[in-house]
Amino acid sequence: MKLLIFGATGGTGRLVIRQALDKSFNVTAFVRDPGKVNLSHPLLKIVKGDVLQQHSIDTAMEGHDAVICCLGAPATKAGLLRSEGTKNIISSMQKFGISRLICQTSLGYDDSEKVLNYTPFVFRKIIAPFLLKKTFEDHSRQESKIKESDLNWTIVRPGTMTNSPVTGKYKHGYNYNDSTWKVKISRADVAQFMLAQLNNTGYNKMAVGISY
């Protein structure tokens, strides 16, 4: 498996890299600052680039079997990085005939907004509607661009992510009426689930929630 990872220096992206290398995948990490990768491995290639520049992505895309996207930005600087970056990734994938895309977004907006009912008052009434408003809006735009594409995609929507170790034990699906969802999960478990989707057809062309 030749895997291209975007958002590779983020909390989840780093774990996707490590877990993919553990599986002996050939991994390309697409990053703005190669100095932030802090990992050397014979199966790891680091490519410097900017997802907001189409030609930059095109130089890295050819020859890969699949793409994992973990693009992110601080809540205070949400902007259009996720949606515009993903649009460029999709365009490049189509150009080079690569169809499998696994993209991390989030729970808590659009048809998954119901899960906010299972979160603490402060998160539900203050953090989500105010601090995460722009992030959720850009995730929504990002998902729309993916769903409109002809790619073989899976959108992975985690709850609030923690730095706890991998457990391999979590809920996944799209029953957002399930009040037992804790709406939190470790980044390590998210990375594990995303990698598992590369050879799993059960959630093809679907947005799937993941949570403890």
pLDDT in tens, 174-191: 999 999 999 999 999 999
What is the pairing mode between strands 66-69 and 100-104? parallel
Burial state string for 25-52 with b = 16 or more CB within 10 A and e = fewer than 16: bbbbbbbeeeeebeeeeeebebbebebe
Tokens of 27: 């991994």
Q: Would you say residue 77 has pLDDT above 90?
A: no
Our CA angle for 184, 186, 212, nearest 5°, is 45
Q: According to the model, what pLDDT value does residue 73 have?
A: 84
Mean pLDDT taken over the chain: 95
Each residue of 149-182: pLDDT tens digit? 999 999 999 999 999 999 999 999 999 999 999 9
Q: Hey, what amino acid is at 63?
A: G
Residue with tokens 């977004």: 105
